[in-house]
A and B are shown apart, each in its own frame.
Chain A
Amino acid sequence: MTDIVLSALDLTKRYGSFTAVDGISFEVRKGECFGFLGPNGAGKTTTMRMITNHIPVTEGSLSVLGTEVMANARKVKSLIGVVPQDNNLDTDLRVLDNLLVYSRYHAIPRKVARKRAADLLELFQLDEHAHSPIERMSGGMQRRLLIVRGLINEPEVLILDEPTTGLDPQARHVIWQKLRALQARGVTLVLSTHYMDEAEQLCDRLVILDHGRILVEGSPKELIRKHAGSEVLEIRLREGEDRDECLNVMGGRLPDGAVAECSADTLFLYVPDAGDAMGQLDLDPGRTVLHRRAALEDVFLRLTGRDLRE
């Protein structure tokens, strides 16, 4: 029981008649990296902002380290670290001053704050920029500084809302490496993302959210095995062929153990063994077929559908 650092029961957020988060329940265990994965508008950020007490819970209960978030906001906020999706570093202050002023909000004694700030800046390779203005820092450096700021009160849980959105691949990999290092030090990570690779890289367990509801929960591997099988064949459709003709394209029948799904221009076949399936299909030799391992993206797209979200 003490292993649970974050728990939500029937957590709901409504704005008027619109339900952004629709009665979700989950538990985050100590030391793990827990992810919320979902398309835009799925309710990820709303959930994160309820956890950090930026917005009030409409219904249900939400507690961090045994403390109800709504009833005892100050205590919860002193126990967690927050890395927001939108950069809200204080651009009126330089890098180090950002941290020192922020540690005042947390009532950290001045000396302790200086020591922690110095250590964290070094850990996140920002020590050379301690006296730089915020605007001079790259997007990746600013994001790292946001994480450092979230760690200044030595939280047991770090809440990260889309920590690498908008960063280039190099900067993303640096952030992943730093987050794994934090996890190794015992910090529990709770993050939201719409990047599949990020979720596969970092998360021990995750939930896939859509329309404010949890669709599935599990480790990335479990979810892939359960919902996408092990291999995928992508068969490109030709001009004029549509969903109704998918069966004809395959030559009349589905291979054994296969699940088929059709998008605008591609037929997806989730199969236990691609070679075996290819043998059973009667495909036109000129047709483009892509063969790959099943990934979290397949789980995601299968569960949330392939419609465009804006």
Chain B
Amino acid sequence: MIEPTGPRQPVMARKTARVIPDLTWRTITVWYRDARVWATFYKASLIGNLGEPLLYLLAMGWGLGRMVGTVNGVPYIEFLAPGLICSTAMYSATFECTFGAFTRMTRQRTYDAILASPVSLDEIVAGEVLWGGTKGFLSGGAMLLVMSLFGLVGGPAALLALPLSFVIGLLFASLSMIITARAPSYDFFSYYFTLAIAPMFLFSGIFFPVESLPHWARTLAWFLPLTHGVSVSRAIFSGGLDMKPALDVLWLLIFIATAFIVAVREIRKRMVM
């Protein structure tokens, strides 16, 4: 190792700051903090996680489903449920890493406190994203439970929806951290929810097949991360796992890696002055 030779050395070190995040096992301590806080309120949190998808299934699946009949040859509620698992995971991770993370970063100064310990800022971001993934997993799990009560789960292959929920959680957690880094205040998130999350919810193939959209809209939908999540979920629940979802999974993983690196960069910009 080359020892710093002059007073200007630190500036040089900063200019060449890594693109690759500075991560160690300490990441898990940040995840642990969030998990521990969640554990104290888990009952309320689980009721929320179970309640919303239940309402959607009742209103859309039963209510709207009666009028729609079948889609792609299956009853509407069976068509709808695999998509709702994905949106539940998306919302759960997004709330956690927008409102939740923003509160910890600004009002509660939790990041500032952690930064006085040997945990790095990159590890804080990673820990938050990991926790967002976990929230996606928990919500997806709650949804799966509701689905099984409705008799919508065919076999053990449906358990693959759990890792999928985790992956969707990671993706939207990373994306949310970018928004959080840029947010001047809580109001900013309403733009994000209206302009990004709501269209994602409506046009990624949860309520109707993406194939029924005009060609140009289908192309746009391909760029929505949730479309690929829904596509994988449908494959899981239809029992027909082939190569197509593999490409969707690859799409999701590449997106996560990119979004995470950008999130680390943006949070650094915001926190390191």
A78 to B120 CA separation, bound complex (whole angstroms): 12
Query: Across the interface, which residues of A come within 8 angstroms of B33, CB to CB?
Result: 90, 93, 101, 104
A73 to B114 CA separation, bound complex (whole angstroms): 13
- Chain A's closest residue to B100 (CB) is A92
Query: Across the interface, which residues of B come within 8 angstroms of A74, CB to CB?
Result: 118, 120
A90 to B9 CA separation, bound complex (whole angstroms): 35
Q: Which of A53, A90, A97 contacts B110 (CB 8 A)?
A: A90
Query: Is the CB–CB distance between B10 and A92 below 8 Å?
Result: no
Query: Is the CB–CB distance between B272 and A56 below 8 Å?
Result: yes
Query: Across the interface, which residues of A come within 8 angstroms of B10, CB to CB?
Result: 56-59, 61, 68, 70-71
Query: Across the interface, which residues of B come within 8 angstroms of A82, CB to CB?
Result: 116
Query: Across the interface, which residues of A come within 8 angstroms of B115, CB to CB?
Result: 53-54
Interface, chain B (partner A; CB < 8 A)? 4, 7-11, 13-14, 26, 29-30, 32-33, 36-37, 108-110, 112-120, 272-273
Apart from the given pairs A52-B116, A88-B108, 5 other A-B contacts in the complex at a CB distance below 8 Å: A54-B116, A68-B4, A84-B113, A90-B113, A101-B33
A78 to B117 CA separation, bound complex (whole angstroms): 6
Query: Across the interface, which residues of A come within 8 angstroms of B108, CB to CB?
Result: 88, 90-92
Interface assignment of A10: CB less than 8 Å from any CB of chain B: yes
Least CB distance from A191 to B in Å reads 15
Label chain B's interface by main secondary structure. helix
Query: Is the CB–CB distance between A54 and B112 below 8 Å?
Result: yes
A10 to B29 CA separation, bound complex (whole angstroms): 36
Query: Across the interface, which residues of A come within 8 angstroms of B113, CB to CB?
Result: 84, 88-90, 102, 149
Query: Is the CB–CB distance between B13 and A88 below 8 Å?
Result: no
Least CB distance from A27 to B in Å reads 16
Interface assignment of A86: CB less than 8 Å from any CB of chain B: yes
Interface, chain A (partner B; CB < 8 A)? 9-10, 15, 52-61, 68, 70-71, 73-75, 77-78, 82, 84, 86-93, 97, 101-102, 104-107, 149-150, 153
A238 to B191 CA separation, bound complex (whole angstroms): 61
Q: Which of B32, B36, B118, B272 contacts A55 (CB 8 A)?
A: B272
On whether A93 and B4 interact (CB within 8 A), knowing A77-B117, A107-B26, the answer reads no
9 A-B pairs in the complex with CB atoms less than 8 angstroms apart:
A15-B273, A54-B112, A70-B13, A73-B118, A73-B120, A78-B117, A105-B117, A105-B119, A150-B116
From A104, A105, A106, residue with most partner B Cβ within 10 Å: A105
A58 to B116 CA separation, bound complex (whole angstroms): 19
Least CB distance from B121 to A in Å reads 10
Least CB distance from B150 to A in Å reads 34
- Chain A's closest residue to B119 (CB) is A105
- Chain B's closest residue to A159 (CB) is B116
Number of cross-chain contacts by CB at 8 Å = 94
Q: Which of B11, B13, B118 contacts A105 (CB 8 A)?
A: B118
- Chain B's closest residue to A94 (CB) is B40
Query: Is the CB–CB distance between A84 and B26 below 8 Å?
Result: no
A59 to B13 CA separation, bound complex (whole angstroms): 11
Query: Across the interface, which residues of A come within 8 angstroms of B116, CB to CB?
Result: 52, 54, 77, 82, 84, 150
Query: Is the CB–CB distance between B273 and A60 below 8 Å?
Result: no
A93 to B104 CA separation, bound complex (whole angstroms): 12
A238 to B269 CA separation, bound complex (whole angstroms): 55
- Chain B's closest residue to A13 (CB) is B273
Q: Which of A52, A68, A89, A101 contacts B36 (CB 8 A)?
A: A101
Query: Across the interface, which residues of B come within 8 angstroms of A15, CB to CB?
Result: 273
6 nearest A-B residue pairs (beta carbon): A88-B109, A105-B117, A82-B116, A70-B10, A88-B113, A74-B118
Query: Across the interface, which residues of B come within 8 angstroms of A61, CB to CB?
Result: 4, 7, 9-10
Query: Across the interface, which residues of A come within 8 angstroms of B110, CB to CB?
Result: 88, 90
On whether A93 and B37 interact (CB within 8 A), knowing A54-B115, A105-B119, the answer reads yes
From A15, A61, A92, residue with most partner B Cβ within 10 Å: A92
Query: Is the CB–CB distance between A106 and B117 below 8 Å?
Result: yes
A57 to B116 CA separation, bound complex (whole angstroms): 16
A245 to B108 CA separation, bound complex (whole angstroms): 54
A107 to B119 CA separation, bound complex (whole angstroms): 10
Query: Is the CB–CB distance between A55 and B112 below 8 Å?
Result: no
Query: Is the CB–CB distance between B32 and A104 below 8 Å?
Result: yes
Query: Is the CB–CB distance between A84 and B112 below 8 Å?
Result: yes
A198 to B112 CA separation, bound complex (whole angstroms): 26
On whether A105 and B114 interact (CB within 8 A), knowing A73-B120, A90-B108, the answer reads yes
- Chain A's closest residue to B109 (CB) is A88
Query: Across the interface, which residues of A come within 8 angstroms of B36, CB to CB?
Result: 93, 97, 101
Query: Across the interface, which residues of A come within 8 angstroms of B14, CB to CB?
Result: 56, 70
Query: Is the CB–CB distance between B37 and A59 below 8 Å?
Result: no
A252 to B234 CA separation, bound complex (whole angstroms): 98
Query: Across the interface, which residues of A come within 8 angstroms of B109, CB to CB?
Result: 84, 86-88
- Chain A's closest residue to B110 (CB) is A90
